């Protein structure tokens, strides 16, 4: 049995990842920005330094085998080039999707080191320069940045035996992905967990899809 730390378990892919990991017999530490009554999740707003510091205290001393950085936002969907993409959206998008991922990894790193665990970050093919399709500039830029972050952390943590990977979850029918998406959250989560399970130092720094397809940077 492994201990998973999964951010953003309140809905969508995060909720399904937590559900499937729990069903497989693993311990799951879930986090959410808002914790509803009756839920045992830890409160974590990845863009709030005070919340991150409290979270680090909450998990102090616990072994974490697998960290899945899933929490993210897509704030600029449908924005107009001439009038949209305001600085507040840029600041919030980058704070959650990039700086927030780094802050979470940094906070949990002592726990991951205890078990020589691994780190998976839910990125997106929308951050690929090769597959640039226009629009959604904030979301695309944030996913490009977080994939780059994972690549560089993979270099720095390799000698400690900690593997990292970036993963495209597919176009998923969630609140973020919309009803016209290609796959459901169950299919995405199943594939992601399979890919994360085989992540190793030999493959550290990988950027691939939920189905194992290699993603171009």
Assign residue 181 the CATH number of its domain: 3.40.50.720
- Please name the helix (run of DSSP H) or strand (run of DSSP E) that holds residue 46, with its range, or none: none
Q: Compute the C-alpha angle 193/204/134, nearest 5°.
A: 75
Question: Is the confidence at residue 205, as pLDDT, over 90?
Answer: yes
Q: How confident is the model at residue 177 (pLDDT cuts 50, 70, 90)?
A: low
The pLDDT of 28-52, averaged and rounded, is: 97
Res 143: pLDDT: 98
Res 176: pLDDT: 64
Q: How far apart are CA 105 and CA 188, in angstroms?
A: 23
Question: Is the confidence at residue 174, as pLDDT, over 90?
Answer: no
Residue 214 lies in a domain: no
Q: How confident is the model at residue 178 (pLDDT cuts 50, 70, 90)?
A: low
Residue 82 neighbours by CB under 8 Å, 6+ apart: none
Q: How confident is the model at residue 182 (pLDDT cuts 50, 70, 90)?
A: confident
Joined together, the tokens standing for residue 190 give: 């199943």
Residue 147 lies in a domain: yes
> Strand 206-209 and strand 163-168: pairing?
parallel
Res 150: pLDDT: 98
Distances (CA, A) of 215 to 112, 143, 146, 170: 26, 13, 14, 11
Q: DSSP states of 167-197 as a string?
A: EE--SB-STTT-TT-SB-HHHHHHHHHHHHH
Residue 217 lies in a domain: no
Residue 215 lies in a domain: no
Contact assessment for residue 119 and residue 67, using Cβ atoms and an 8 Å cutoff: yes
Q: Give, to the nearest 10 degrees, the angle between helix 49-58 and helix 100-115.
A: 10
Q: How far apart are CA 104 and CA 45, in angstroms?
A: 10
Residue 72 lies in a domain: yes
Residue 184 lies in a domain: yes
Which comes out higher in pLDDT, residue 173 or 99? 99
Mean pLDDT of the residues in the chain = 95
Q: How far apart are CA 215 and CA 125, in angstroms?
A: 7
> Strand 3-7 and strand 118-122: pairing?
unpaired
The pLDDT of 104-121, averaged and rounded, is: 98
Q: 159: burial class by Cβ within 10 Å (0-12, 13-18, 19+)?
A: exposed
Contact assessment for residue 107 and residue 48, using Cβ atoms and an 8 Å cutoff: no
Residue 41 lies in a domain: yes
The pLDDT of 54-64, averaged and rounded, is: 98
Cα dihedral angle (6, 62, 106, 172), rounded to 10 degrees?
Answer: -10
Q: How many domains does the chain have?
A: 1
Residue 58 lies in a domain: yes
Give me the domain span that covers residue 101: 3-209
Lowest mean pLDDT, pick from 73-82, 143-152, 154-163, 180-189: 180-189
Q: Give the pTM.
A: 0.96
């Amino acid at each position: 049995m492994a201990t998973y730390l999964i951010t953003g378990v309140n809905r969508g892919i995060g909720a399904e990842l937590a559900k499937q990991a729990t069903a497989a017999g693993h311990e799951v530490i879930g986090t959410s920005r808002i914790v509803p009554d009756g839920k045992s999740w830890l409160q974590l707003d990845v863009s709030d330094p005070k919340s991150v510091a409290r979270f680090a205290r909450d998990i102090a001393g616990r072994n974490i085998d697998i960290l899945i950085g899933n929490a993210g936002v897509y704030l600029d969907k449908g924005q107009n080039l001439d009038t949209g993409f305001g600085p507040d959206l840029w600041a919030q998008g980058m704070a959650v999707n990039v700086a927030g991922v780094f802050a979470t990894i940094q906070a949990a790193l002592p726990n991951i080191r205890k078990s020589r665990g691994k780190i998976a970050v839910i990125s997106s093919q929308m951050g690929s320069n090769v597959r640039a399709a226009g629009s959604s500039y904030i979301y695309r830029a944030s996913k490009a940045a977080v994939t780059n972050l994972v690549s560089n952390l993979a270099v720095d943590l390799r000698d400690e035996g900690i593997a990292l990977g970036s993963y495209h979850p597919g176009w998923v029918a969630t609140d973020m992905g919309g009803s016209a998406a290609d796959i459901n959250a169950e299919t995405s989560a199943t594939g992601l967990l399979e890919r994360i399970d085989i992540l190793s130092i030999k493959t550290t720094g990988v950027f691939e899809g939920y189905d194992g397809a290699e993603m171009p940077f």
